[in-house]
Amino acid sequence: MHKKSSKGFLAEINVVPFVDVMLVLLIIFMVTAPMLTQGVEVDLPETRAVETLPEDSDTVVLNVLKDGTIKLDKYEVRLEELGNYLKRMEFQQGKLLYLQADKDVAYGIVVKVMAEVRAAGIQKLGVVAEPEDEQS
């Protein structure tokens, strides 16, 4: 008589190591995700009627820093090149452009930036500000 061998293939999958790896990846993602959304520090002007800046992927932030430096999202751009960069971006698919200018930036620089945005064919431009302190 021939005996069955006890050395067969294992038909079950051990999922415990897989779950351990996924939990570690989840913790890493939860720790690093807030660090990825840090933007450029701008001292915003204050106003009464203000909307908060949406944090979805369909927004592009155009920053004008105190020294006049212009940043499109994270990348520094010269004023002369701004129109070309904006034309290359796809604003027709629902993306929105928000201007976030420091309160100490000269008015003329902000107007020039807005003119470049308009010349690039972008009709809707949101302006970001801080809410005023209500001190009575």
Answer whether residue 24 is part of any domain.
no
The answer, yes or no, to whether residue 4 has pLDDT greater than 60, is: no
Task: List, in sequence order, the alpha helices (H) in 6-132.
Answer: 16-36, 79-88, 107-119
Examine residue 23 and state whether it is found in any structural domain, yes or no: no
Would you say residue 124 lies in a domain? Answer: yes
Look at residue 136 in the predicted model and tell me its pLDDT.
Answer: 43
Q: How far apart are CA 77 and CA 63, in angstroms?
A: 10
> Could you tell me the residue range of the domain that residue 108 belongs to?
46-131
Q: Specify if 16 maps to a domain.
A: no
- Assigned domain for 105 exists: yes
Of the candidates 120, 123, 118, 116, the one whose C-alpha atom is nearest the C-alpha of residue 64 is 116
Let me know if residue 74 belongs to a domain.
Answer: yes
* pLDDT tens, residue by residue, 32-45: 877 665 555 555 55
- DSSP-based three-state secondary structure for 10: coil
- Distance separating alpha carbons of residues 78 and 91, to the nearest angstrom: 20
From residue 36, give the alpha-carbon distance in Å to each of 32, 39, 48: 7, 8, 30
CATH of the domain at 67: 3.30.420.270
Amino acid present at 43: D
pLDDT tens per residue, range 39-75: 555 555 555 555 555 555 677 888 888 888 888 878 8
- For residue 79, tell me if it sits in a domain: yes
| Domain annotation covers residue 115 | yes
Which pLDDT belongs to residue 57?
61
- Structural domains in the chain (count): 1
